[in-house]
Amino acid sequence: MKTMRFLLLGAAVVMLAATQTLGAATATSNVSVSATVAATAKLSLSSSTVSFANADPDTTPSIAATEGAITITAKGKTATGSTISLTVLAAADLTSGSDTIPISNVTWTASGTGFAAGTMSKSAAQTVGSWTTSGSRAGTQTYALANSWNYPTGSYTATATYTLTAP
């Protein structure tokens, strides 16, 4: 009986030893992970046209843009604490042949965090919005033209350029 127990115990040890990996080894290695994030700016406007209809200056001293509010989406990546800015600059006054209407007669109101009201200029870029750090911002800008009996008749045009800067 003792011999039998000894044989069974011996067989159990051999079976246990057979189930374990003989000479197991482990190796490790590291990999370096890196990512490059560059300053990036992306701007979209819901309309590329701003137009003002003819109106009686006595009853309509300020003409709202026919298109209504322009929706602006400004997206930017920049360094922490840096300021992303959106500006607009007119190339010239409103012109019709040799007649002009000062571009400063065009103003806007704005809604949305970081967006600001302003007056169009041909000499200095005007701030439309400003934000600290990266992100996506959305707001609206609604243009208006100061109406006057002094404007010569004509079809007036001007070009304005928006610039989104993410340093």
Non-local (6+) Cβ contacts of 16 within 8 A are: none
Confidence (pLDDT) at 23: 76
**95-141 pLDDT, tens per residue?**
999 999 999 999 999 999 999 999 999 999 999 999 998 999 999 99
How far, in Å, CA of 94 to CA of 103, rounded? 6
Query: Does 55 fall in a domain?
Result: yes
Is 78 inside a domain boundary? yes
* 1 vs 105, more confident: 105
12: helix, coil or strand? helix
The range of the structural domain enclosing residue 96 comes to 40-165
- The residue among 10 and 134 whose pLDDT is bigger is 134
153 lies in a domain? yes
On whether residue 23 sits in a domain, the answer given is: no
In a domain, 107, yes or no: yes
**Complete DSSP assignment for 82-139:** -EEEEEEEESS-EEETTEEE-GGGEEEEEESTTB--EE--SSS-EEEEEEESSEEEEE
The CATH code of the domain that includes 111 is: 2.60.40
Which DSSP helix (H) or strand (E) runs through 142? Answer: strand 135-146
For the beta carbon of residue 21, count every other beta carbon within 10 angstroms. Answer: 6
Within-domain flag for 48: yes
Number of domains, the chain:
1
What is the tens place of the pLDDT at every residue in 70-105? 999 999 999 998 999 999 999 999 999 999 999 999
Report yes or no on 64 lying in a domain.
yes
Q: Specify if 7 maps to a domain.
A: no
Rounded to 10 degrees, the C-alpha dihedral 91/103/72/130 comes to 90
